[in-house]
Amino acid sequence: MKRNIIHISDVHFGDPTHSDELVYNLTSQIEEENPDMVIFAGDLTYGGFISEYNNAKNFIEELKSITETHVVPGNHDARNVGLEHFKNLIGDTHFVKIDKKCKLAIIGLDSSRPDIDDGNIGSFQLEWLKAELDKIPKNFGKMVIFHHHLIPIPQSGRERNILLDSGDIIQLLIDEGVNIVLGGHKHVPNVVTLEGIAVINSGTATTRRLRGTGHPCYSQLILNDVDMEANLIFTESGIKKNVANYSFVETDSGVKIHSYNHEAAFRIKPVI
């Protein structure tokens, strides 16, 4: 069963570099792509204020009118007591989606903490995540989403605003046989494979808050029964570039990555 998933993050309504034109491009491109699902990996807003959340709510509702959409918060969303607005206007800060047709479990976590840019999953969510992963059949793939970067990202500057308990979450993801982790946060796209986990970070889709020679962009995952293609899509032009390919195999202990190849996503430019 094929699944087309769009993975976006860091649209930052309220950011001085936020672009309505890029928002229009993004929604138009998603509508044309007609994906099975959109996963938003945090930072809907810039300061967590109600005016920003109202715009974000309209944006998420437009995405939901196109396809099934799931959202987790980012560090900017938790500023200025912003998570109250998130819960009131967007929804729960974590989620579980079981796609029985595709044999895929998708779990979203909240890595934000009020008014600080560092992230933390925390012991409660770690215990909850383990309990949810333990319920998943062995023949299902497992995907986990949270905003902060799990491991350092090249070409993103000094390592800061980190996930404080990354070691604990990495060990849990490995122990539980998670196959894919999606995030955002650094505004730099990246793909890397860590201990059998495809770790994919989206860039900023709709702002000009870019590092180096980066471009506004987001990610696409095309999953089949035995493989996955990861693409980078540039919001300004809609140009799509392949950045990674994975094959999966079902073993006695669960679904595993069998082989993979990927490029340094941050180096890819929107040139036809």
Going residue by residue through the chain, which has 272 residues, state the pLDDT in tens, using 9 for 90 and above.
689 999 999 999 999 999 999 999 999 999 999 999 999 999 999 999 999 999 999 999 999 999 999 999 999 999 999 999 999 999 999 999 999 988 999 999 999 999 999 999 999 999 999 999 999 999 999 999 999 999 888 776 666 678 889 999 999 999 999 999 999 999 999 999 999 999 999 999 999 988 888 899 999 999 988 899 999 999 999 999 999 999 999 998 899 888 888 876 556 667 64
pTM of the model: 0.94
Domains of the chain by residue range? 3-267
**197-201 and 180-183 beta bridge pairing:** parallel
Q: Please state, in angstroms and rounded to a whole number, the distance separating the CA atoms of residues 262 and 115.
A: 35
Instruction: For domain 3-267, give its CATH number from 3.60.21.10, 3.20.20.70, 3.40.50.720, 3.30.70.580.
Output: 3.60.21.10
pLDDT at 266: 58
115: left (phi over 0), alpha (psi -120 to 50) or beta: left
pLDDT at 225: 82
Q: What are the CA-CA distances from residue 266 to residues 72, 200, 238 (Å)? A: 23, 12, 17
Query: What are 60's two structure tokens?
Result: 């998420």
Q: Helix 122-134 vs helix 166-175: angle between axes, to the nearest 10 degrees?
A: 10
pLDDT at 271: 61
Please say whether the beta carbons of 217 and 232 come within 8 A.
yes
